[in-house]
Amino acid sequence: MSNTPPPADSLWSVPPADPNVHVADLPRLTGQNALVLDLLRAGDRLTPREAYEQHAITRLAARVYDLRRAGFDVKSDYDTKQKCAVYWLGKPAA
């Protein structure tokens, strides 16, 4: 498999948050994984309720797990007010 980057007009033209993510791993992120990654890259903080109500994603924690396994630095915390997890994309290492 080649390590050449995908076309510039694709979702993957933006480099991953973690520079250790190999280009060959990127095509595996499709569907809901790609949607969640796109939302997190936009700087959004995402809760399971927002993911479900706005994007019909019923298992946000599973999508976050997939992104973490692919090497993305997805951070999380517990929101005591909403009583649920909140996810965001960490900054790349300098």
pLDDT in tens, 66-83: 999 888 899 999 988 889
Q: Which two tokens stand for residue 73?
A: 């630095």
- 18 to 7, 22, 33, 67, 70: CA distances (angstroms): 20, 9, 16, 11, 10
Please return the burial class of 64, using the count of CB atoms within 10 Å of its CB with bins 0-12, 13-18 and 19+. buried
pLDDT, residue 60, reads 94
Q: How far apart are the first and last CA of the chain?
A: 28
pTM to 2 decimal places = 0.67
- Domains of the chain (ranges; CATH) run 19-89 (1.10.10.10)
